[in-house]
Amino acid sequence: SSVENGRPLDPADWAVIDVVNYFRTAGFEEQANAFQEQEIDGKSLLLMTRNDVLTGLSLKLGPALKIYEYHIKPLQTQHLKNSS
């Protein structure tokens, strides 16, 4: 599969470290570790609900909202478009 920044283009193919690096690159250095602790890989990321992000990762609310709205939700939308 095609690769960008060392990560597979399709988030479903991301390993936990790809997810962590994605959020580090996006400026969520501190929050990225939560994804590692919870062992969230690309497939898990695509299954996450808003509630999972806000309550399941023990993140501060501000960053959690941004992570969901500006990163996870768009990745999910894009993935659905590409796989349909």
**pLDDT 10s digits, 11-57:** 999 999 999 999 999 999 999 999 999 999 999 999 999 999 999 99
State mean pLDDT over 59-77.
98
Is a pLDDT exceeding 70 seen at residue 1? Answer: no
Distance CA 70, CA 10 (A): 17
Class of domain 12-83: mainly alpha
Write down the pTM of the prediction: 0.92
State mean pLDDT over 70-78.
97
Is a pLDDT exceeding 60 seen at residue 72? Answer: yes
Q: Where are the chain's structural domains? A: 12-83
